[in-house]
């Protein structure tokens, strides 16, 4: 299962208390104070990991607590510090403080770490308070409580190319043909209920990471349908590949379908609408489909790439074009 949002409670460990103790040893009648300090409480740390692509493992627990520091001991022995608790999250996770609503950090790199709850400091033993005036202090300080907060985690997938379009535009089939991903494929709307990511190999050294995002519908940017939940993932993509069904059996007119998706991307964010885009006519397997693709090309005023995933036609050409966009090697125009 895929999960891109969750809330968790993080609780750092309390610091251990300092101790009141006096040195007792034969032939040392006045050994003086020797109470040790308490140990530091453990902190809770989020770590961006390449081993995860969903927040599902994190969401299986709500409360994450680090160890408390141990109490100090006599003979100037400090208490043991509590172990830090590290929580692995996917790369691309945004961390928000739920109470304040502010973004704490966007974990965009593998290995990036964020202390989300700091462990409490240990208390001081009475040996710390001895001076020339106060030779036998009979007090120590308590350890400080660890931080506690509720976090809201949001995941935005990282992919070089994001596939967008109406339901049944052919995105899942395209992804399954050019990568090893195995998305669910069927001829009814909303087959894809969660993003699917695959890696396409262009040659021995060059690859392309593609994400198949659930089908958008009109009003998606305002919360209609399923697509609005996944528009945020497109923001991470460097290139948008817009697939339009141009077959004779298409549910929507290609030109109208193109206009609706372009409008939804613009409504969601200006930055998203300005991303480099590769416009693709899918399911072009007949003369009528070719004519519909030509109409789309005239309306869009840009090159429309023709593909047929069923016949394995045009797939490599469109991947090469997307790769050129990703590398910034594209010349504007047809």
Chain length of the chain: 334
Average of per-residue pLDDT values in the chain: 86
Q: Confidence band (pLDDT; 50, 70, 90) for 22?
A: very high
| 262-272 mean pLDDT | 82
| 247-255 mean pLDDT | 91
* pLDDT score of 71: 96
- Whether 102 and 195 share a structural domain: no
- Whether 134 and 226 share a structural domain: no
Nearest Cα to Cα of residue 209 among 160, 155, 163, 275: 160
What Cα–Cα distance (Å) separates residue 257 from each residue in 57, 90, 102, 245, 250? 37, 33, 37, 8, 10
* pLDDT score of 194: 57
Does the structure show a pLDDT above 70 at 187?
no
* pLDDT score of 275: 86
- Whether 280 and 320 share a structural domain: yes
- Whether 219 and 315 share a structural domain: yes
What contacts 250, CB < 8 A, 6 or more positions away?
Answer: 257, 283, 292
- Whether 146 and 258 share a structural domain: no
With respect to residue 332, please indicate whether it lies within any of the assigned structural domains: no
pTM: 0.67
CATH number, residue 9: 2.70.210.12
Write out pLDDT tens, residues 36-55: 999 999 999 999 998 887 88
Q: Confidence band (pLDDT; 50, 70, 90) for 259?
A: very high
Write out pLDDT tens, residues 114-146: 999 999 999 999 999 999 889 889 999 999 999
* pLDDT score of 207: 79
Tokens of 138: 């009979």
With respect to residue 333, please indicate whether it lies within any of the assigned structural domains: no
| 216-244 mean pLDDT | 64
- Whether 86 and 61 share a structural domain: yes
* pLDDT score of 305: 96
With respect to residue 334, please indicate whether it lies within any of the assigned structural domains: no
Which of these three, 155, 186, 203, is where a domain ends? 155
- Whether 145 and 209 share a structural domain: no
- Whether 122 and 174 share a structural domain: no
- Whether 148 and 166 share a structural domain: no
Does the structure show a pLDDT above 80 at 193?
no
Q: Confidence band (pLDDT; 50, 70, 90) for 331?
A: low
What gap in Å lies between CA 204 and CA 201, rounded to an integer?
A: 7
What gap in Å lies between CA 12 and CA 45, rounded to an integer?
A: 9
Contact predicate 261/163, CB 8 Å: no
- Whether 88 and 201 share a structural domain: no
- Whether 203 and 280 share a structural domain: yes
Contact predicate 21/126, CB 8 Å: yes
- Whether 288 and 165 share a structural domain: yes
Write out pLDDT tens, residues 75-85: 999 999 999 99
With respect to residue 331, please indicate whether it lies within any of the assigned structural domains: no
Which of these three, 104, 137, 155, is where a domain ends? 155
CATH number, residue 264: 3.40.50.300
With respect to residue 305, please indicate whether it lies within any of the assigned structural domains: yes
* pLDDT score of 190: 44
The total of structural domains in the chain comes to 2
What gap in Å lies between CA 304 and CA 165, rounded to an integer?
A: 14
Which domain range does residue 47 map to?
5-155
């Amino acid at each position: 299962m895929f999960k891109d949002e969750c809330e968790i409670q993080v609780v750092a460990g309390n610091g251990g208390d300092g101790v009141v103790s006096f040195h007792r040893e034969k032939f040392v009648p006045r050994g003086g104070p020797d109470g040790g300090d308490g140990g530091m409480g453990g902190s809770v740390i989020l770590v961006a990991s390449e081993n995860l692509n969903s927040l599902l493992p994190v969401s299986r627990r709500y409360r994450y607590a680090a160890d408390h520091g141990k109490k100090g001991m006599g003979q100037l022995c400090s208490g043991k510090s509590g172990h830090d608790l590290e929580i692995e999250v996917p790369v691309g996770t945004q961390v928000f403080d739920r109470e304040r609503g502010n973004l704490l950090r966007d974990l965009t790199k593998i290995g990036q770490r964020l202390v989300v709850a700091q462990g409490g400091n240990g208390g001081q033993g009475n040996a710390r308070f001895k001076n020339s005036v106060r030779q036998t202090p009979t007090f120590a300080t308590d350890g400080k409580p660890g931080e506690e907060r509720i976090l809201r985690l949001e995941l935005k997938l990282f992919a070089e190319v994001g596939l967008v379009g109406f339901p049944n535009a052919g995105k899942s089939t395209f992804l399954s043909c050019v990568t090893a991903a195995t998305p669910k494929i069927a001829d009814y709307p909303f087959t894809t209920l969660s993003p699917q990511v695959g890696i396409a190999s262009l040659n021995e050294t060059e690859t392309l990471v593609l994400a198949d995002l659930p089908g958008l519908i009109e009003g998606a940017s305002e919360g209609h349908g399923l697509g609005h939940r996944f528009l945020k993932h497109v923001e991470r993509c460097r290139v948008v590949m817009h697939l339009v069904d141009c077959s004779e059996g298409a549910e929507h007119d290609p030109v109208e379908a193109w206009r609706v998706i372009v409008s939804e991307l613009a409504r969601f964010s200006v930055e998203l609408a300005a991303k480099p885009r590769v416009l693709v006519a899918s399911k072009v397997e007949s003369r009528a489909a070719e004519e519909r693709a030509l109409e789309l090309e005239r309306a869009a005023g840009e090159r429309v790439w023709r593909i047929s995933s069923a016949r394995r036609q045009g797939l490599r050409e469109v991947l090469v074009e997307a790769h050129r966009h990703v590398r910034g090697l594209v010349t504007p125009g047809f």
